[in-house]
Amino acid sequence: MRVGIVGLPNVGKSTVFNSLTRAGAEAQNYPFTTIDPNLGVAAVPDGRLDALARVMESKRVVPTTVDFVDIAGLVRGASRGEGLGNKFLGNIRECEAISHVVRCFEDENVVHVDGKVDPIGDIETINTELLLADLSTVERRLERVGRAAKSGDAKLKAEAAQLEGLVGHLSEGNPARTYPWSEVLAEALGTLITAKPTLYVANVDEESVADGNRYSAEVEKLAAREGAEAVRLSAKLEAEVVELPEDEAREYLAMVGVESTGFEEFVRAAYRLLGLLTFFTAGEKESRAWTVRKGSTARQAAGRIHSDMERGFIAAEVGNWEDLVAAGSWAKARETAKVRLEGRDYLIEDGDTMIVRFNV
């Protein structure tokens, strides 16, 4: 999945990006440090995969990954091309989901574009610009379709009616993701920016990571109202933790009262938001994590491994990762009936481990 990291200038976007990907994007205390989008790939930590690799004595361990895009800071008027608006909006359209970083810390040494810490106001600024950009897109389409519908074409009239409804919805300040989408709109518009799943990231100071503060509480309440996800992290803390050995990092996190890094919380929230799950393949040669959408069949999951497996799918041996780790090997898991044979229409569950039988 590709996640676009967005927000106002100087809210910590590039610091969050660096801590997630270790890509070394420039992060400075002035607007528009990020002009061209920075791209980074982050390996997703998964203790289940590590456990499988240990018992299978795998020579190679391959985690699943998330692509992150650090997009230029947005300002008021971006929908009209102000600042780096056109570039910003173009970059975000290419992402599957939006990670909206919101400043929830006070620091007189880090300037705020509006001179004060106001997370809800910041969110409204970003969301307004995204709504205006979508509204412009829909209105242009409605203008073209409306003219063509005057010919009496029933299909075009139906599309125009749906577009009018969407214009009204957006004009009232509602994101496209809360509108009853249809195949007609999907064909006409593709995916609008405000239709993309959104994850709010409350960037707090180190002292507020465990319990939050009044600013992060506001962000979490807003996310709940929208049906979006929200996570709380300290970009400064994350940047420090990624430089430490794993055992020291865990000790550091325990000192501030949290069990996992913000990145781990981020990934869990992103998976929930996008309706994703993880399955595994495990053996002596390699143990690997794979990402599929909920509702994927065994045959579709096999296609994630290799197209030949999907095309020539026969069946899959499936076992839960915990059962395989407890058994210690595929052979012992089979002996204790912890592995079953599933057909092409079996729905993959999170944590399934597979061996695919196929013939091409």
The set of residues, in sequence order, having a beta carbon less than 8 Å from that of 286 and lying 6+ positions away, is: 58, 59, 60, 61, 62
pTM of the model: 0.79
269 in the same domain as 235: yes
Residues 189, 93, single domain; the answer is yes
Give the model's pLDDT for residue 262. 83
* pLDDT (0 to 100) of residue 228: 86
Which residues fall in the annotated binding site for ATP? 10-15
- Average pLDDT over every residue of 158-182: 91
Q: Which residue has the higher pLDDT, 162 or 44?
A: 162
pLDDT digits (tens, 9 = 90+) for 316-341: 999 999 999 999 999 999 999 999 99
> Does 237 share its domain with 189?
yes
Confidence band, pLDDT 50/70/90 cuts, at residue 31: very low
Does the residue 59 lie in any domain?
Answer: no
Which of the pair, 272 or 59, is modelled with greater confidence? 59
pLDDT, mean over the chain: 86
Hey, what amino acid is at 240?
Answer: E
pLDDT computed for residue 125 by the predictor:
87
Task: Indicate the burial class of 96 (C-beta count within 10 angstroms; 0-12, 13-18, 19 or more).
Answer: middle
How is the chain split among helix, strand and coil, in percent rounded to 5? 45, 20, 35
Residue 147: both structure tokens together: 């003219």
215 occurs within a structural domain? yes
Tens of pLDDT, residues 77-103: 544 544 444 456 777 888 889 999 999
* Largest pairwise CA distance in the chain: 71
Binding annotation? 10-15
133/184 same-domain check: yes
**Mean pLDDT score, 106-116:** 71
Residues 38, 178, single domain; the answer is yes
**Of residues 277, 273, 298, the one with CA closest to residue 289:** 277
Q: What are 354's strand-pairing partners? A: 318
CATH number of the domain where residue 158 is located: 3.40.50.300
What is the pLDDT, as a whole number, of residue 84?
40
244 within 8 A of 277, measured Cβ to Cβ: no
**Mean local confidence (pLDDT), 40-61:** 92
Q: Going along 157-252, which residue ranges are E strands?
A: 198-203, 229-233
Q: Verify that 200 and 257 share a domain, yes or no.
A: yes
- Residues 63, 44 contacting (CB under 8 angstroms): yes
Question: What is the pLDDT at residue 88?
Answer: 63
The total number of structural domains in the chain stands at 2
Report pLDDT for 181: 85
Cα dihedral 251, 257, 262, 268 sign: positive
Q: Say what percent of the chain tops pLDDT 90.
A: 46
Higher per-residue confidence, 146 vs 110: 146
Asked if residue 266 has pLDDT above 50, the reply is yes
Q: Residue 287: in which H helix or E strand, if any?
A: strand 287-293
Looking at the structure, tell me whether residues 314 and 194 fall in a common domain.
no
| pLDDT average, residue stretch 223-231 | 87
Same domain, 9 and 130: yes
Does 163 score more than 60 pLDDT? yes
The reply to whether 290 falls in a domain is no
Distance CA 169, CA 1 (A): 28
- The pLDDT, as a whole number, for residue 331 is 94
Residue 289 lies inside a defined structural domain of this protein: no
Among 70-79, 132-141, 149-158, 288-297, top mean pLDDT goes to 288-297
Same domain, 260 and 347: no
The reply to whether 204 falls in a domain is yes
Binning pLDDT at 50, 70 and 90, where does residue 115 land?
low
Domain match, 177 and 239 both? yes
331 compared with 235, residue with greater pLDDT: 331
Name the residue range of residue 343's domain. Answer: 295-358
> Are 105 and 147 members of one domain?
yes
Q: Which two tokens stand for residue 16?
A: 């969050």
Does a structural domain hold residue 352? Answer: yes
What's the pLDDT score for residue 357? 96
Give the CATH number for residue 301.
3.10.20.30
